[in-house]
Amino acid sequence: MNQNDESLRWKLRGLRQDQPPKRDLWPDISARIAALPPRQAEEPVQRLSGVRRFAPWAMAASLVLTVGLAWQATRVAPQDPVIPREAASLTRDYQGALAQMQGAEAHPEFGVALQELDRSAAQIRAAIEHDPNATFLLERLRRTYAKRLALTQRAVMS
Amino acid sequence: MRAHSSSLMSTSLLFLSLLAALPAFAGTPINESRQLDARGRVEISNVKGRIQVRAWDKPEVKITGTLGDGVERLRVEGDSENLSVVVEYPQNNWGGGKAGPTDLQLMVPLRAELDISSVAADVDVEGVASGELSIDAVSGSVKAVGAPRSADINSVSGSLDLVLNSADVEAQTVSGDLKLRGRLNGDVSAETVSGGIEIAVNNERLRELSANTVSGSIRVNTGLAQRGEIRMETVSGDVLLILPKNLSAQVRGETFSGDLRATGVTIEKRRGPGASFQTRYGSGEGDVRIETFSGSAEVRLE
């Protein structure tokens, strides 16, 4: 484990910017994070209404991914590039969460956007393979996955 | 006989003119009014059709328009501090199903806070000067012109066309284009996935700007406040950042395979892949950072 890896891990921890929801909003995801370290202190969620009431799902999904990210960052082998491995880990988390929600792609309002998000995620993963030191790409990937999960959840519930 | 023909023609013309006068949204007319404090809050929800909001100098909300065929009802409830205006569909039909589009037109107090939700309904807000303006759409486009203190505006595939005189603005889309103009002087955050981002700040200087996208392009023209910060990131999208000649900031740019340009700077290629630069304009008080993977980036002082 070298100093660069250590410095990068602290930066990765800095990516944990999302706030967890006030209450348990997504039982399936909660089950998935049960095995992970405790989340950050909870903060109040603003009153939500209409379709925006689904925004907490995005936060919950984002939480799972970022917690998983930080967790993975503490368990890396020194000789491996950190960012590509974190990207792979993020992708596994994302695919696991999505596997529980079927049919969203067929939704007339969301289908095209979901495909766009998938294309974008693939594009970012390819970019990370070429530039494995670009921390900002990992954050782009995390944001893209968080949007994908949030929209999938909205589509499934509509 | 001629008189009968003439009468028939007149009737036909009258019928045709009546047809032409019908609104695009045929359905049940809406006509409701409620008292609302000058700084009260209005929540508006309509799945498809249109949401149009205009402001007036009265402590009252007036709701007109037409309810789409098949819509269950228009629910208007709350008190003089919080009012909720929701188009309801049968059996929790969130997507609106086969119900017709509803045209919702509201007059609201000038300073009322607005919280607007739409799926496929286009949102058109003009003239409000609320503390907060919040709009969330899926495929509907959003057009907002006003002076809220802060605005939080999101769409998925719909475009955002925003003209705001505001301190803080947060705007996001997935594939919709995002255009933001106006007198902006606080924190602005703009994010898309594939939609383009265009920001033009008029006669003001931003304190913080964050503009991020995966494949959309970014074009920003703004002044930067003392010790202000700008962060811009794209994967494949191009970036153009236009700043005034009297800029005082440290500016850094980095790319893996795109081209970099900056006024007065000679960009040197690295030995390996990628290029980067770091320069100081003026006394270097502010901080500007741009990162791309394959997109090109240019910082232009003019």
Residue A156 has pLDDT above 80, yes or no: yes
Residue A141 lies in a domain: yes
Distance (Å, rounded) from C-alpha A66 to C-alpha A71? 8
Range of the domain at A138: 3-17+54-157
Q: What is the 3-state secondary structure (H, E, C) of chain A?
A: CCHHHHHHHHHHHHCCCCCCCCCCCCHHHHHHHCCCCCCCCCCCCCCCCHHHHHHHHHHHHHHHHHHHHHHHHCCCCCCCCHHHHHHHHHHHHHHHHHCCCCCHHHCCCCHHHHHHHHHHHHHHHHHHHHCCCCHHHHHHHHHHHHHHHHHHHHHHHC
pLDDT at A80: 53
Q: What is the pLDDT of residues A65-104, one digit of tens each?
A: 554 454 444 444 444 589 999 999 999 999 999 888 888 8
Residue A142 has pLDDT above 50, yes or no: yes
Q: Which residues of A touch B293 (CB under 8 A)?
A: 127, 130-131, 134, 137
* CB-CB under 8 Å, A120 with B291: no
Q: By C-alpha distance, which of B294, B254, B267, B275 is closest to A129?
A: B294
Residue A146 lies in a domain: yes
Averaged pLDDT, A27-41: 44
pTM: 0.79
- Give the chain B residue nearest A118 (alpha carbons): B193
**How many domains in chain A?**
1
pLDDT at B90: 83
- Sequence-distant (6+) residues with CB within 8 A of B100 are B25, B26, B27, B49, B68, B69, B70, B71
* Distance between B28 CA and the closest CA of chain A, angstroms: 22
* CB-CB under 8 Å, B156 with A151: yes
Residue A75 lies in a domain: yes
Residue A39 has pLDDT above 90, yes or no: no
pLDDT at B27: 84
* CB-CB under 8 Å, A137 with B235: yes
pLDDT at B232: 98
Residue A136 lies in a domain: yes
Distance (Å, rounded) from C-alpha B52 to C-alpha B65? 9
Residue A133 lies in a domain: yes
Q: Exposed e or buried b for every residue in B186-221, given b needs 16+ CB within 10 A?
A: bbbbbbbbbbbbbbebeebbbbbbebbbbbbbbbbb
Q: Which residues of A touch B138 (CB under 8 A)?
A: 51, 109-110, 154
* Distance between B265 CA and the closest CA of chain A, angstroms: 23
Using DSSP's 3-state secondary structure scheme, residue B222 falls into: strand
Residue A128 has pLDDT above 80, yes or no: yes
B253 with B262: CB under 8 angstroms? Answer: yes
Residue A132 lies in a domain: yes
Residue A43 lies in a domain: no
* CB-CB under 8 Å, B291 with A136: yes
pLDDT at A40: 37
Indicate whether this complex's ipTM tops 0.85: no
Residue A23 lies in a domain: no
Q: Which regions of chain B are under pLDDT 50?
A: 1-3, 5-6, 8-9, 11-24
Q: Find the length of chain B.
A: 302
Q: What is the pLDDT of residues B252-270, one digit of tens each?
A: 999 999 999 999 999 877 7
Residue A107 has pLDDT above 90, yes or no: no
